[in-house]
């Protein structure tokens, strides 16, 4: 009887010890999570702020500001203000962590290169190489210049500026026609009429049709009603 009582007592002690251990581990995990959470802050949005304001705001949150040594030109962010940051605003970070920022050097001013006669793509590359930006790109359509070339720029070459606006020729307007329905017409005559207007006409095949006189258009591509331009190919199929 005494042995049974002792076994029950030891069991209660072990059960109590296990419960205490579980409770301790649970509270330890909760305390650790609370401690980690307490050490974290939300990274503020520093973009657009001056370095002084960004430094002060970072210090309030126990973060360290690390400024990139090379300023970067930007036409929208004033010189001496934050252009970008890492980590991004709104992300969680531990206290004492560094926040890296890039600083704007403001609008880059340089002499405008001569872009007249250059293709639009070449002009964009040259402007970017000089650290400038392309502003408005206007368009004209004229046969006096090659297509897709710069015919005017503002400001003119050798002028100090941060932005260059371009006038680009898109080529002469092509006339637009509605494809006529040539079915039932004489193929050679219809082809001659279309060729006079600048179309490339070919009779691609011949179809046997006993009820239709020879040389009559029985199929065409494109079909009647489609928009076509001079220079477009037109295929006619005539009877034989």
Q: What is the pLDDT of residues 205-235, one digit of tens each?
A: 776 666 788 899 999 999 999 999 888 899 9
CA distance 31 to 37: 10
142-193 per-position pLDDT tens digit: 888 888 899 999 999 999 998 999 999 988 777 789 999 999 999 999 999 9
Residue 47: both structure tokens together: 């973009």
- β-sheet bridge partners, residue 203: 236
Residue 173: both structure tokens together: 């307007």
Asked whether this chain's domains 41-106 and 177-239 adopt the same fold, the reply is yes
Least confident of 49-63, 131-145, 180-194: 131-145
Check residue 186 and report its DSSP letter.
B
Of 109 and 180, the one with more pLDDT: 180
Fold for the domain defined by 41-106? Trypsin Inhibitor V; Chain A (3.30.10)
CATH class of 110-169: alpha beta
Q: How would residue 118 be classed by pLDDT, with cut points 50, 70 and 90?
A: very high
Domain borders along the chain are 1-38, 41-106, 110-169, 177-239
CATH code for the structural domain at 177-239: 3.30.10.20
- Rounded to the nearest integer, the mean pLDDT of the chain is 85
Q: Is the pLDDT of residue 29 over 70?
A: no
Please provide residue 63's backbone torsions phi and psi, each rounded to the nearest 5 degrees. Answer: -110, 155
Q: How would residue 35 be classed by pLDDT, with cut points 50, 70 and 90?
A: very low
pLDDT at 4: 53
Kindly state the percentage of the chain with pLDDT values over 70. Answer: 82
Q: For residue 62, give the nearest of 41, 45, 47, 84 by alpha carbon.
A: 41
Give the position of tokens 């009429």.
193
Q: Is the pTM of this model over 0.85?
A: no
Of 37 and 89, the one with more pLDDT: 89
pLDDT at 163: 92
Give the position of tokens 């001056």.
50
Q: How would residue 33 be classed by pLDDT, with cut points 50, 70 and 90?
A: low
Q: For residue 37, give the nearest of 94, 82, 90 by alpha carbon.
A: 94
């Amino acid at each position: 009887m005494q042995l049974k009582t002792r076994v029950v007592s030891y069991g209660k002690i072990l059960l109590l010890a296990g419960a205490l251990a579980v409770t301790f581990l649970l509270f330890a995990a909760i305390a650790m999570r609370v401690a980690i959470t307490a050490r974290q802050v939300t990274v503020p949005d520093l973009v657009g702020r001056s370095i002084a304001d960004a430094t002060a705001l970072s210090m309030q949150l126990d973060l360290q500001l690390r400024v990139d040594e090379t300023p970067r030109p930007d036409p929208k962010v004033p010189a001496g203000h934050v252009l970008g940051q890492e980590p991004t605003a709104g992300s969680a970070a531990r206290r004492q962590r560094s926040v890296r920022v890039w600083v704007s050097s403001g609008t880059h001013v340089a002499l405008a290169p001569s872009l007249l006669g250059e293709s639009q793509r070449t002009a964009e590359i040259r402007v970017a190489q000089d650290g400038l930006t392309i502003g408005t790109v206007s368009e004209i359509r004229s046969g006096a210049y090659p297509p897709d070339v710069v015919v005017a720029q503002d400001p003119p070459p050798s002028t100090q500026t941060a932005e260059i606006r371009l006038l680009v020729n898109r080529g002469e307007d092509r006339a637009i026609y509605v494809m006529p329905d040539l079915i039932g017409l004489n193929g050679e005559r219809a082809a001659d009429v279309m060729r006079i207007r600048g179309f490339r006409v070919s009779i691609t095949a011949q179809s046997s049709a006993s009820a239709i006189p020879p040389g009559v258009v029985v199929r065409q591509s494109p079909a009647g009603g489609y928009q076509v331009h001079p220079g477009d190919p037109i295929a006619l199929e005539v009877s034989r």
